[in-house]
């Protein structure tokens, strides 16, 4: 990937800094700046120079195979916003639920809109992309649902977190019904989601070479903590994932699926939920670890209410600031003034 952002000197504390913007209902994460010494993150090379960079996140488009559907326009606007970001992101990550019912035509439409991005795209699936044909069309279009790469000293890894145990064969449920069950926010027969054994093994091998001080960013569709399992706002084997990642000083996790501003920290893992380009989900009736992070929704009947822009600045320790800019300028002070991560 290319980067024409000029190098600049930053302090050691600032060696890794992220600015994340969720443009027009999309999360646009702008990652800045690993130190040259961290290019080989397992080495203890002296760190002196920083090359800032940006990356963007867009999530949960939920496109229908209906011409000129309103969600098409919002995704296209998010793509435009990302293309117009200054400085430009080096790459974009889409965090799942590109389609609504998993139909090939929905995914093809999404791919067409996302192809307007001027920078490389990385993508993972959501449950809406997968359960009509068990990911056949998605894999055919986008390849492996888990992947990793290093970029300017930061290690990025992504997994497919929406895998459930087979609930359909014994009940003789056909593919459309299976997809229908998985589309439900509260499916009573689907069971919990997870990344499962094969991807856990993959992750363990993937991060084996990295030293404890390596900056690691993880992408999944569902959150890597038990937010609200009843709506599958969780990943069943997140404890195993957190255990594999526990050797690192700090890990940053971005996820989709919840369609809302969401922040949590467990041990060394900081998690941020991405807004969607479709609709905002309500907050479940649970006490959040950080209740002041809830978005203010004045008109839940308005599908645009609750969409907006995230701006996240993270420093080397994955602390920083999160600011949320909704389309409706009606914010509780805690959000309006920013949140310390």
Residue 311 host element (H or E): strand 308-314
Instruction: Please pick, from the candidates 51, 53, 60, 268, the single residue that binds Fe ion as defined by CB under 5 A.
Output: 60
Query: Is the CB of 15 or the CB of 138 nearer to Fe ion?
Result: 138
**Range 253-292, binding Fe ion (CB under 5 A):** 257
Is 97 among the residues that bind Fe ion (CB under 5 A)?
yes
Q: How far is the CB of 143 from Fe ion (least distance, A)?
A: 20
Q: How far is the CB of 278 from Fe ion (least distance, A)?
A: 7
| Contact call for residues 218 and 199 (beta carbons, < 8 A) | no
Stretch that binds Fe ion, among 120-128, 130-138, 267-275, 328-336 (CB under 5 A): 120-128
| Contact call for residues 316 and 17 (beta carbons, < 8 A) | yes
Q: How far is the CB of 319 from Fe ion (least distance, A)?
A: 28
Distance CA 182, CA 171 (A): 15
Query: Is the CB of 131 or the CB of 318 nearer to Fe ion?
Result: 131
Stretch that binds Fe ion, among 31-39, 99-107, 124-132, 289-297 (CB under 5 A): 124-132
Residue 340 host element (H or E): strand 339-340
Stretch that binds Fe ion, among 14-22, 57-65, 71-79, 129-137 (CB under 5 A): 57-65
Stretch that binds Fe ion, among 89-97, 136-144, 149-157, 306-314 (CB under 5 A): 89-97
**Range 11-30, binding Fe ion (CB under 5 A):** none
Q: How far is the CB of 85 from Fe ion (least distance, A)?
A: 23
Give which of 307, 335, 331, 312 is closest to 73, Cα–Cα.
307
| Contact call for residues 30 and 54 (beta carbons, < 8 A) | yes
Instruction: Please pick, from the candidates 52, 99, 126, 306, the single residue that binds Fe ion as defined by CB under 5 A.
Output: 126
Write down the H helix ranges in 167-307.
175-183, 196-207, 238-244
Burial pattern 133-168, b for ≥16 Cβ within 10 A else e, equals bbbebbbeebeebbbbebbbbbbbbbbbbbbbeeeb
Give which of 257, 255, 254, 253 is closest to 278, Cα–Cα.
257
Q: How far is the CB of 232 from Fe ion (least distance, A)?
A: 8
Query: Is the CB of 127 or the CB of 206 nearer to Fe ion?
Result: 127
Query: Is the CB of 23 or the CB of 52 nearer to Fe ion?
Result: 23
Number of residues that bind Fe ion (CB under 5 A): 5
Q: How far is the CB of 180 from Fe ion (least distance, A)?
A: 14
Peptide bond between residue 121 and the one before it cis (omega within 30 degrees of 0): no
Q: How far is the CB of 244 from Fe ion (least distance, A)?
A: 23
Is 293 among the residues that bind Fe ion (CB under 5 A)?
no
Sign of CA dihedral 102, 222, 26, 139: negative
Give which of 54, 60, 70, 95 is closest to 219, Cα–Cα.
95
Stretch that binds Fe ion, among 50-58, 93-101, 143-151, 163-171 (CB under 5 A): 93-101
Q: Which class for 284: exposed (0-12), middle (13-18), buried (19 or more C-beta within 10 A)?
A: middle
Site for Fe ion, rule CB under 5 A? 60, 97, 126-127, 257
């Amino acid at each position: 990937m290319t980067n024409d952002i000029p190098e600049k000197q930053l302090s050691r504390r600032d060696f890794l800094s992220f600015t994340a913007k969720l443009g027009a209902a999309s999360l646009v994460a702008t990652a800045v700046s690993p130190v040259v010494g961290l290019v080989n993150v397992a080495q203890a090379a002296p760190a002196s120079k920083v090359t800032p960079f940006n990356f963007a996140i867009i999530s949960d488009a939920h496109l229908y195979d209906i011409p000129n559907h309103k969600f098409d326009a919002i995704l296209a606007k998010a793509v435009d916003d990302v293309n117009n970001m200054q400085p430009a992101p080096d790459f974009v990550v889409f965090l799942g639920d590109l389609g609504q019912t998993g139909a090939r035509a929905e995914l093809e439409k999404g791919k067409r809109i996302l192809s307007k991005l001027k920078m490389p795209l990385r993508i993972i699936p959501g449950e809406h992309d997968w359960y009509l044909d068990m990911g056949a069309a998605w894999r055919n279009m986008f390849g492996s649902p888990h992947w990793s790469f290093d970029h300017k000293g930061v290690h990025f890894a992504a997994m497919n977190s929406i895998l459930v145990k087979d609930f359909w064969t014994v009940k003789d449920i056909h593919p459309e019904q299976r997809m229908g069950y998985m589309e439900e926010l509260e499916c009573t027969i689907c069971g919990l989601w997870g990344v499962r054994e094969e991807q856990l093994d993959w992750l363990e091998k993937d991060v084996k070479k990295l030293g404890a001080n390596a900056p690691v960013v993880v992408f999944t569709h569902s959150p890597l903590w038990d937010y609200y399992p009843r709506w599958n706002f969780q990943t069943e084997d997140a404890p195993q994932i957190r255990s594999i990642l526990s050797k690192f000083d700090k890990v940053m996790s971005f996820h989709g699926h919840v369609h809302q501003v969401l922040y949590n920290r467990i041990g060394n893992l900081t998690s941020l939920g991405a807004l969607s380009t479709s609709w905002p989900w309500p907050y479940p009736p649970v006490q959040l670890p950080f209740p002041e992070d809830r978005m203010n929704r004045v008109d839940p009947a308005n599908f645009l209410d609750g969409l907006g822009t995230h701006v996240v600045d993270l420093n080397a320790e994955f602390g920083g600031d999160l600011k949320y800019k909704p389309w409706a300028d009606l914010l509780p002070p805690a959000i309006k003034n920013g949140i310390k991560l």
